[in-house]
Structure 1
Amino acid sequence: MEQKMRKKLLELLSRNGFMSGEKIAEQLGVSRTAVWKQINTLKEMGYKITSVKNKGYHLESRPDIPYPEEVCPKLNTKIIGKNLYYFKTLSSTNLYAKELINKGAEEGTVVVADTQTKGKGRKNREWFSPSGGLWFSVILYPEKLQPNKSMLLTMAASIAVVEAIKTVTETESKIKWPNDVLINNKKVCGILTELDAELDKINHAIIGIGINVNNELKKDLKEKATTLRNEVGTKVPRVKLLKTILKHLDENYAELLKGKNDVVRKKWIQYSKIVGKKITVKDENTVIKGVVEKVDEEGYLILQTKEGKKTRILSGDIEYTV
Structure 2
Amino acid sequence: MHIIKVDAIASTNTFLRDLIREKNFADPVCVMAKEQLAGKGQMGTTWQSNPGENLTCSVFMKINGIELNHQFFISIATSLAVYDALNAFVVPKLSIKWPNDILSDRQKICGILIENVVKNGSLIGVIVGIGLNVNQTTFNNLPQAGSLKQILGKHFEIEEILQTILINLECRFEGLTTSNFDTIKKQYEDLLFRKNKPSTFLDIEGDSFVGIIQAITNEGKLQVLLEDEIISDFDLKEIKLLY
Same fold (TM over 0.5): yes
User: Counterparts of 1:227-306 in structure 2 under 5 Å?
Assistant: 227-257=147-177, 259-272=179-192, 274-282=194-202, 284-285=204-205, 287=207, 289-306=210-227
Report the CA distance shift for 1:301/1:235 in structure 2 as closer, same or farther (over 3 A).
Answer: same
Distance in 2 (alpha carbons) for counterparts of 1:282 and 1:273: 16
Q: Alignment RMSD, CA only?
A: 2.2
Q: Does 1:205 align with 2:126?
A: yes
Larger RCO (CA under 8 A, 6+ residues apart): 2
What SS class does the counterpart of residue 241 from structure 1 fall into? helix
TM-score, normalization by structure 1 = 0.68
Distance in 2 (alpha carbons) for counterparts of 1:177 and 1:280: 14
Q: Does 1:129 align with 2:41?
A: no
In structure 1, the partner of 2:144 is 224
Q: Which has the larger radius of gyration?
A: 1
Cα deviation 1:128-174 (Å, max 9, x = unaligned): 12221000111123231121221222221221222211212453321
Is the contact made by 2:137 and 2:150 (CA closer than 8 Å) also made in structure 1? no
What SS class does the counterpart of residue 292 from structure 1 fall into? strand
Q: Provide the aligned length of Structure 1 versus Structure 2.
A: 238
User: Counterparts of 1:152-191 in structure 2 under 5 Å?
Assistant: 152-191=73-112
Q: Does 1:147 align with 2:68?
A: yes
Once the two structures are TM-superposed, the CA of residue 286 in structure 1 deviates from its matched residue by 5.5
**Structure 1 unaligned regions, length at least 5:** 1-81
Q: More strand per residue: 1 or 2? A: 2
In structure 2, the partner of 1:95 is 14
In structure 2, the partner of 1:110 is 30
Report the CA distance shift for 1:235/1:319 in structure 2 as closer, same or farther (over 3 A).
Answer: same
In structure 1, the partner of 2:240 is 317
Distance in 2 (alpha carbons) for counterparts of 1:139 and 1:215: 26
What SS class does the counterpart of residue 176 from structure 2 fall into? helix
Q: More helix per residue: 1 or 2? A: 1
TM-score, normalization by structure 2 = 0.88
Report the CA distance shift for 1:281/1:260 in structure 2 as closer, same or farther (over 3 A).
Answer: same
In structure 2, the partner of 1:54 is none
Once the two structures are TM-superposed, the CA of residue 105 in structure 1 deviates from its matched residue by 2.6
Once the two structures are TM-superposed, the CA of residue 289 in structure 1 deviates from its matched residue by 3.6
Distance in 1 (alpha carbons) for counterparts of 2:56 and 2:203: 26
